[in-house]
Structure formats: structure tokens, C-alpha cells
Amino acid sequence: MIEQQGKFDWMLRDLYDGVPGIDMIVVLSADGLRIARYSGDPDAADRVAAACAGLQSLAGAVAQEIPTSDGEMKMVIIEMNGGYFYLMAAGPNAFLAVLSDVRCEPGRMSLSMADLVARIGPHLTSPARRNGQTV
């Protein structure tokens, strides 16, 4: 179920097992590359990671328009027919995304994601890249 960096297995499984209704968990870099996933289709995880890059950029741009904001995106929640999408900053250049069905309670998911990021955020980082190369 987990792709790439096996060190994320226990971390993502804890979140998956702890909150009912999770369909997929994706750890991604700021530029939209999948670092790891738990559950769900690998191709779908790649598409989610790519979409998240645009979404976090949009959220950051909107945050800059709030006078008291530091301009950083912390979390985005989207409610859709049939489920929810969550995106949370998870460390330098890294994000945690979760897709869930309607059984998932957004408050519980937000707290569970925040707890996961607080405990293991340093492990959910992605080095900066320039021209496809790590810098």
C-alpha cells in the first residue's frame, strides 16, 4: 500500500487506522511530486499530488491578502458531494493530503493530521529542487 520511502508506512497507517472514512493519504513535495502514499491507486495519488501544488499556491496567494496573515498556507479543507479533501503543510516544502468519504468528521481529521505533522513533521520534508535537480 505504501509507495516509495517505506519509513512513512507506520506514520500514515496510524492516521489511516485512526480516522474512519479515509480513502487515500498522500505525502507530496511543494512542486507536486508524490513522496509517499497510503491506500488508493498510485496514478490517482500522482494526480492528487500535482493538483495539490496548485492548490497550496492558490491558498498562499489568498493568505497574503489577509492583513494579519504571514502568507503561509496551513490547511485547506474542501467539502464535496461524497467526501472531503484535506491539505496541510507538513514541513519545509512538504504537504500531507487526505481524501475521505462523508463518514470522516472534519474536526477529527484536522486534529489527527495536525497531531501527525507535529510528531513527525521533520520526516515529511522535501529538499528544494531547481531544474529537476535537488539543491
Could you read off the pLDDT of 13-46 as tens digits, one per residue? 999 999 999 999 999 988 999 988 999 999 999 9
Write down the pLDDT at residue 23. 96
Q: What is the number of other CB atoms lying within 10 angstroms of the CB of residue 20?
A: 13
What is the spatial distance between Cα 117 and Cα 133, in angstroms, rounded to a whole number?
A: 26
Dihedrals φ, ψ of 94, to 5°?
-135, 150
Rounded to two decimals, what is the model's pTM?
0.84
Dihedrals φ, ψ of 47, to 5°?
-65, -40
Write down the pLDDT at residue 131. 59
Q: Is the pLDDT of residue 122 over 90?
A: no
Domains and CATH numbers, the chain: 6-128 (3.30.450.30)
Could you read off the pLDDT of 96-120 as tens digits, one per residue? 999 999 998 899 999 999 998 987 7
